[in-house]
Amino acid sequence: MNRLLCWGLVLASILFSACSNQKGPENANEEIWIQLFDGTSLNGWTPKIRGYEFGDNFAETFTVRDSAISVSYEGYDTFGEKFGHLFYVSPFSFYRLAVEYRFTGEQAPDGPGWAYRNSGIMIHSPPGETMLIDQDFPISIEVQLLGGNGEDERSNSNLCTPGTNVVMDGELVTRHCVSSTSTTYHGDQWVRAEIVVLGDSLISHFLGGEEVLQYTKPQMGGGNVDSFDPEIKVDGQVLTGGFISLQSESHPVEFRKVELLNLKGCMDPKATKYKSYFVNNDVSMCFY
């Protein structure tokens, strides 16, 4: 059977629940989502802003307001290419991530034109503390979040690749960004973006429950990232997992939910921690 078709069947089981007659614990089909954002604080999250040390939240770029992570530039005179990323404390490799976000207000002074209503979810990244002080973006896979201007079409949940490449249709893709098949999302509406990540085997982007982009074999390589540690960027190294971060690219944005369904765990139906939706086995999580 075609490998992508096999993973497609796995995706179907992840997104549309497991079989109801699955043996094992009574709650084997109950999804346990981890709330990466607790709704009240930045506990578990650390900023890295270009030009500043890891942990320095310059001008309170990242705060919590009205139960949402707020990315704002009220303390900036000019943006000055101070690209920022808010890193979650734990790495993941097999998971389903959901982020609810919206763009608000006006772009920061001198923010680049391409960054209008532009943010992103970075995945498969090295630890944030490995970024050098003047590094602009983490070496990662970016699920690009874009808002429309009220008139023109602009696809959303695209792929961008700072210091990375991917494979699509059996070919290595080295261009920086690849557009999705999504419609345009205008205005300040809340949008739910989901990503299904299966190590290096498959990554899929979803908007409104519809798949809009799919690729495989994320790996280090290419450009579009500056001032990085060359010992960290090993071109050709396949990325099987890593850290997640939320982006600051000069336009105000809010994230009211960041939740993750871990797809790695005990796959023995006889164990108490078994879940029918796991796709990667972790025997250390099996208890009897």
What per-residue confidence (pLDDT) applies to 16? 47
Q: Is the dihedral of CA 242, 45, 188, 104 positive or negative?
A: negative
- Mean pLDDT of the region 215-243: 97
Span 265-285, average pLDDT: 96
* pLDDT score of 15: 55
Instruction: Give the confidence band of 125 by pLDDT, cuts at 50, 70, 90.
Output: very high
Domain of residue 62 covers 29-276
Instruction: Report yes or no on 2 lying in a domain.
Output: no
Measured in whole angstroms, the distance separating CA 161 from the mean position of its chain's CA atoms is: 12
Supply the pLDDT for residue 28.
93
Residue 282 within a domain: no
25-39, 91-105, 143-157 — which is least confidently predicted? 25-39
- Give the rounded distance of the alpha carbon of 79 from its chain centre: 23
217 is a domain residue: yes
Question: What CATH code is carried by the domain that includes residue 227?
Answer: 2.60.120.560
Residue 12 lies in a domain: no
Percentage above 90 pLDDT, the chain: 90
Pair of tokens at residue 181? 């098949």
Q: How far apart are CA 230 and CA 236, in angstroms?
A: 13
Q: What confidence tens digit (pLDDT) does each residue in 188-197 have?
A: 999 999 999 9
Structure-token match 């990325």, residue found:
239
The share of the chain scoring above pLDDT 70, in percent, equals: 91
Q: Return the pLDDT at 266.
A: 97
Give the DSSP per-residue string, the chain: --HHHHHHHHHHHHHS---TT--SSTTTT---EEESS-SS--TTEEEEETTS-TT--GGG-EEEETTEEEE--TT-S--TT--EEEEESS-BSEEEEEEEEEE-S-PPTT--GGGTTEEEEEEEEPPGGGS-TT--S-SSEEEEEE---SSS----SEEE-TTEEEEETTEEE-SSEE--S-----TT--EEEEEEEETTTEEEEEETTEEEEEEEEEEE-S-S--S--TTT--TT-B---BEEEEEE-SS-EEEEEEEEEE-EE---TTSTT--TT--EE-GGG---
9 occurs within a structural domain: no
Mean predicted lDDT score pLDDT of the chain: 93
**Is a pLDDT exceeding 90 seen at residue 19?**
no
Structure token digits, residue 92: 């993941």
Q: Are 145 and 120 in contact (CB under 8 A)?
A: yes
| pLDDT value for 22 | 45
* 18 in any annotated domain: no
Q: Give domain status of residue 4, yes or no.
A: no
* 8-state DSSP, 15: H
Q: How many domains does the chain have?
A: 1
pLDDT confidence of 161, banded at 50, 70, 90?
Answer: very high
Q: Is the pLDDT of residue 2 over 90?
A: no
CA 14 to CA 233: how far, in whole Å? 32
At residue 287, the pLDDT reads 93
Residue 144 domain flag = yes
User: Residue 11: what pLDDT?
Assistant: 63
pLDDT of residue 18: 41
Instruction: Please state which of the ranges 8-22, 64-78, 132-146, 263-277 shows the lowest mean pLDDT.
Output: 8-22
Higher pLDDT, 11 or 271: 271
